[in-house]
Amino acid sequence: QSTSIAFGTIKADPSLPVEVTSDTLEVNQVDGSAQFLGSVLVVQGVMRLSADNVLVIYKPEQKGIDRLEATGNVILVNGPDAAEAERAEYTIDSGTIVMNGNVLLSQGNSTLASSQMVVNLNSGTAQMSGRVKTILNPDGNN
Amino acid sequence: MDRYSRMVAFLKVLLPLTALVLLSTLFLISRGVDTDATIPFAEHEIEERMRGQQVTAPFFSGTTAQGDEITVTASIARPGGLAAPAVATDLQAVIKMADGGRLTLTSNSGEVYLDKDIASFSGDVVITSTSGLEVTTDLLNATLSGISANSPGPVTATGPIGVLNAGSMQLETKTQGGPLQMLFNNGVKLVYDPQKSER
């Protein structure tokens, strides 16, 4: 089953410049693929995505970056909400982030866990699917 | 002696004299050749040439063990002495890799240390690779016997990936015979602007 919830207060704008910082970057000279390694941090406007390594996939004919594949304790922070997963795929132009591998989303004092989550930055909504489990703290403190 | 023989005798004297006068105008009165024409070299150029041998527009090409072709050209190259390295100016190196990639490298000047098997390029070094990445740095040390280079200083790169700057850069094949990798390390910062690529 799947639930859709609001994610992040401000609507992120996918046309903002994306800034990626990391310890090292490997650019393969034959096929041109690029891999960021070592505490990689992707920042775009309000959205911040950190992971151990991020692989860059290009659009055809190197016209730009199609998507970023982050693996290794991925943490996505967008405004007050934070989500954690093993892998995440961020398609820049469409502004969607697909996170899978025991996703843990914490919003305010409630946390949701599921196997997959699709975040749409433009509309600011997130769609969690696959064994969604919510942990509500009735007394308000977590 | 009748008139005719007197006239002939007179002409016998007059005609050689006029011939002599005509001939002398060729040498005595003529403007004269200025023998010390100015040589087209400036003084310091001669001294420079005298100081040591120099190869103009040298061309060097070779292939590495893995079959990558390297061709290096420069505007002027001076052979190095025992301690001094060979120096070249306006270097341009083109590396055609066996597996299809292509790297061009240009720099203002370069030194070749044969004993240390290193060629160091300095002075706004620009490396462009097939992956559309253009890397600029101000010093790059490359090994001569294979394809591997590192730039100890800060590096900036632009390409389809965006604008990037890093603390240092290494160019090497990680696994033996594997693809050539360009490693940017100690701190990489990339800014990618989606709008720029859309147009």
Put simply, whether B189 touches A (Cβ < 8 Å) is yes
Whether residue B131 and residue A14 make contact (CB cut-off 8 A), yes or no, is: no
Put simply, whether B190 touches A (Cβ < 8 Å) is yes
Q: Is the pTM here over 0.90, yes or no? A: no
Please give the pLDDT value at position B6: 92
What contacts 24+ positions apart, CB below 8 Å, involve B90-94?
Answer: B91/B121, B93/B121, B94/B70
Put simply, whether B178 touches A (Cβ < 8 Å) is no
Put simply, whether A90 touches B (Cβ < 8 Å) is no
Show the CA angle centred on residue A71, arms to residues A70 and A72, nearest 5°: 135
Residues of A in contact with B166 (CB under 8 A): 25
Cβ atoms of A89 and A111 within 8 Å: the answer is: no
Please give the pLDDT value at position B199: 43
Q: How many CA atoms lie within 13 A of B178 on its CB side?
A: 9
CA distances (Å), origin B182, targets A17, A28, B127: 24, 6, 11
Put simply, whether A25 touches B (Cβ < 8 Å) is yes
**Prediction ipTM score:** 0.76
Phi, psi of A53 (to 5 degrees): -145, 150
Residue of B nearest to A66 (CA): B194
Exposed/middle/buried for B59, CB within 10 Å: 0-12, 13-18, 19+? exposed
Put simply, whether A113 touches B (Cβ < 8 Å) is no
Two structure tokens written together for B88: 């070249």
Whether residue B192 and residue A62 make contact (CB cut-off 8 A), yes or no, is: no
Q: Domain map of chain B by residue range? A: 43-198
Please give the pLDDT value at position A86: 92
B41 min Cα distance to partner chain A (Å): 47
Residue A114 clears pLDDT 80, i.e. is over it:
yes
- Give the Cα separation of B79 and B82 in Å (integer): 10
Give how far the C-alpha of residue B30 lies from the chain's centroid of Cα atoms, to the nearest Å.
Answer: 48
Phi, psi of B149 (to 5 degrees): -150, 155
Cβ atoms of A107 and A126 within 8 Å: the answer is: no
Residues of A in contact with B182 (CB under 8 A): 26-29
Q: Give, as one character, the DSSP assignment of residue A61.
A: G
Tens place of pLDDT for every residue, chain B, 199 residues? Answer: 789 999 999 999 999 999 999 888 887 777 767 777 777 778 887 777 777 777 888 888 888 777 888 888 888 888 777 777 888 888 888 888 777 778 898 999 988 887 788 888 898 899 988 777 889 998 999 887 777 888 998 999 988 778 889 999 988 887 777 778 888 988 899 888 877 655 4
CA distances (Å), origin B68, targets B32, B59, B128, B169, B187: 64, 17, 16, 21, 30
Q: Which residue do the tokens 């390594």 mark?
A: A53
Phi, psi of B65 (to 5 degrees): -60, -40
In total, the C-beta contacts within 8 angstroms joining chain A to chain B are 112
Give me the sign of the Cα torsion angle A12, A18, A23, A24.
positive
A117 min Cα distance to partner chain B (Å): 24
The correct CATH number of B43-198 out of 2.60.200.20, 2.60.450.10, 3.10.450.50, 2.120.10.30 is: 2.60.450.10
Residue of B nearest to A27 (CA): B182
